[in-house]
Amino acid sequence: MSERAQMEKERLERLKRRRPDLHQQVNTVVLDDDSDNEEEHARGAKRQHISSSSSVARRANTRTSTSSSTATTAASSRSASRPANAAAGSGHAPEVFWDGELRQTANRHVIPAKDKRPLFRLSEILTPKEEIEFAIISAYCWNYSFVYELMDRKTPVIAVDHSLTGESYDSEASIKAVLPNWIRTTPFLRGGFGCMHMKFMLLFFRTGRLRIVISTANLVEYDWRDIENTVWVQDIPKRRSPVPADPKVEDFASAMVRVLHGVNVAPALVNFLKNEHPNLPLQRLEDLRTQWDFSRVTARLVPSIAGKHEGWPKVILAGHTRLMKALKDMGADASAQHKELVLECQGSSIGTYGTAWLNEFHCSARGESAQGWLDKPRARRAKLPLPRGMRILFPTARYVRESVLGEQGGGTMFCRRNQWEGKNFPRELFYQTRSKRGRVLMHSKMVLGIFQDKPGGPGRRQQTLTDSEDEAESGGGAGGDGKPLAGWVYVGSHNFTPSAWGTLSGSGFNPTLNITNYELGILLPLHSEEEIESVACWERPPQKYVIGRDEPWIQSESPAFVADA
């Protein structure tokens, strides 16, 4: 058993002895760490896991060129968070979200007066369960019995899971039957490092409707009850008849198909079709692109696929360079806006940062190609100042201690002492993160991009490193839908770490992007300051750490996570 897993086991045993009442609240705290220390990845994670073994022919991995959805067009309604009627579950018909909806999860520890907006509960997302004909569900941490009870027993489910066998990482892709009508699938992990960290659902209803769910929550009770998470849901209508499509079109559906191939869903689907469930609504992964109408989806899908991606055509399909491409396609690149970009990066795990990677990410977040960046000498990149306007949000030790569950509830927040005290660690970029809804901790992962006027007025250009910027002079502050943009938001599984977003190397002519984890999220445009305030789950503006007074929460130093002497 790993050192961290052993510490967590001992902590829970002590907590059960001392506070049996509180134990029932926190006994599902899980380790959700995608930090950049490869030794941490190589050691076991603390959670029950079903071993994986078998695999089947990869027939469904054969890709065809006759499938794609129509190009995504702007919808008349916003996909960002907005007021809505009371959620389903109290005798009302289930809500349907044809234009998408972004909400926080319900939480039993928040202050009621601060909790007036519509929320998502997992039971409501999976409603009506008897109408779900087929499901593909992904998470890093699973409580299978918890989810199984929320599903109809007859519904076939493909469960995408992190690859862990016993106490060591298993690098090979695998599939295995784990419950009646359930197949667990795990993707390949290069060298056994990294993690399958995606959190999504594809729910196929008997009416033909497809519900897509992308969230920051694992599939354990704790994530849907005791800490805050964020969920995006959109319902997709089925076409009356399939449509042929251009294989060159890159849209939400084509990106989703690529994700499903990446996390080893195809052989699990083949297994179902060959055996107990030959009449599933999805016969091939590519059917997503031809049989469902994604034209009302305004979100852009932003995946990270673990591995080595070489050459621009592949590099822009994953990681922070995928974010860059999505921003440009949305018209949300900072140069087109003639604005300066401020970033607020909220997550539950801190990476090992250097100035080079922070500037690399900031370049993509501005919507700028890294071609010029890569052609600069590496030594020069390493000596750059930290990017202006970047804020890394992470709870302080004091905030965790004063939260509703106290230090015992800090088991899903990760920062290490050797990171914080590193010689070149960007401590000056750290800001406090405090929930708008009370003294609860946030597992939500967001990057909030806010456009501000440049110093010296809009006519003065910000000095940057790159020489080959695409300084489009068109746009006039409007996004791809023609509406003025105030900023954008990313929501999904990515923590703000190089493991999640990837690291560039190579040259501007032939780049290489190395990604450790499988991650998934969505990008949404924001058109006003009101929308910016609405989507942010933390109090804004965030307060900057006072160096010497404020320190990040470091769970390994907490008595709740340290073995008794």
Shared-domain flag, residues 148 and 210:
yes
Query: pLDDT at position 10, please?
Result: 53
> Looking at residues 63-72, what average pLDDT do you find?
33
pLDDT band at 71 (very low <50, low <70, confident <90, very high): very low
Contact assessment for residue 122 and residue 150, using Cβ atoms and an 8 Å cutoff: yes
> Looking at residues 66-74, what average pLDDT do you find?
32
Model confidence over 475-495: pLDDT tens digits? 336 666 678 899 999 999 999
- Residue 199 known to bind ligand: yes
For residue 178, pLDDT over 90 is answered with yes
For residue 19, pLDDT over 80 is answered with no
For residue 57, pLDDT over 50 is answered with no
The answer to whether position 90 is within a domain reads no
Say how far residue 111 (Cα) sits from the centre of its chain.
26
Model confidence over 381-419: pLDDT tens digits? 888 999 999 999 999 999 999 999 999 999 999 999 999
The answer to whether position 50 is within a domain reads no
Shared-domain flag, residues 325 and 236:
no
Average confidence score pLDDT of the chain = 83
Residue with tokens 């896991």: 49
Model confidence over 462-476: pLDDT tens digits? 444 333 333 333 333
The answer to whether position 93 is within a domain reads no
Shared-domain flag, residues 326 and 292:
no
For residue 200, pLDDT over 70 is answered with yes
Shared-domain flag, residues 259 and 347:
no
Q: Which of 271, 300, 329 is the last residue of a domain?
A: 300
Query: pLDDT at position 373, please?
Result: 83
The answer to whether position 52 is within a domain reads no
Residue 384, token pair as written in the block: 């750059």
Q: Where are the alpha helices (DSSP H) in 406-448?
A: 417-420
pLDDT band at 169 (very low <50, low <70, confident <90, very high): low
pLDDT band at 143 (very low <50, low <70, confident <90, very high): very high
Shared-domain flag, residues 373 and 285:
no
Shared-domain flag, residues 239 and 335:
no
Shared-domain flag, residues 402 and 481:
yes
Q: Pick the residue with more confidence: 86 or 437? A: 437
Query: pLDDT at position 446, please?
Result: 99
For residue 26, pLDDT over 90 is answered with no
Residue 215, token pair as written in the block: 């969230």
Q: Pick the residue with more confidence: 80 or 289? A: 289
Query: pLDDT at position 513, please?
Result: 98
Model confidence over 507-553: pLDDT tens digits? 899 999 999 999 999 999 999 999 999 999 999 999 999 988 999 99
Q: Which residue range is the domain that position 286 belongs to?
A: 59-80+98-300
Residue 292, token pair as written in the block: 């469902």
How far apart CA 305 and CA 500 sit, in angstroms, is: 9
Model confidence over 208-261: pLDDT tens digits? 999 999 999 999 999 999 999 999 999 999 999 999 878 888 899 999 999 999
Residues with a known catalytic role: 197, 443
The answer to whether position 42 is within a domain reads no
Shared-domain flag, residues 281 and 375:
no
Shared-domain flag, residues 509 and 476:
yes
The answer to whether position 524 is within a domain reads yes
pLDDT band at 457 (very low <50, low <70, confident <90, very high): low
Long-range contacts of 475-480 (CB under 8 A, 24+ apart): 475/331, 475/336, 475/337, 475/338, 477/337, 477/338, 477/339, 478/331, 479/330, 479/331, 479/332, 479/525, 479/527, 480/74, 480/329, 480/330, 480/331, 480/332, 480/525
Q: Which of 300, 324, 347 is the last residue of a domain?
A: 300
Shared-domain flag, residues 316 and 273:
no
CB proximity list for 379: less than 8 A, separation 6 or greater: none
Residue 97: what residue type? F
The answer to whether position 51 is within a domain reads no
How far apart CA 349 and CA 405 sit, in angstroms, is: 19
CATH number at residue 227: 3.30.870.10
Query: pLDDT at position 492, please?
Result: 99
The answer to whether position 10 is within a domain reads no
For residue 66, pLDDT over 70 is answered with no
Residue 526, token pair as written in the block: 């924001």
How far apart CA 250 and CA 275 sit, in angstroms, is: 33
Q: Pick the residue with more confidence: 27 or 289? A: 289
pLDDT above 70 covers a percentage of the chain that reads: 77
Q: Which of 300, 326, 354 is the last residue of a domain?
A: 300
Shared-domain flag, residues 209 and 354:
no
CB proximity list for 213: less than 8 A, separation 6 or greater: 125, 200, 201, 202, 203, 231, 232, 233
Q: Which of 295-299, 369-373, 375-379 has the highest mean pLDDT?
A: 295-299
Name the domain count of the chain.
Answer: 2
Shared-domain flag, residues 320 and 444:
yes
pLDDT above 90 covers a percentage of the chain that reads: 67
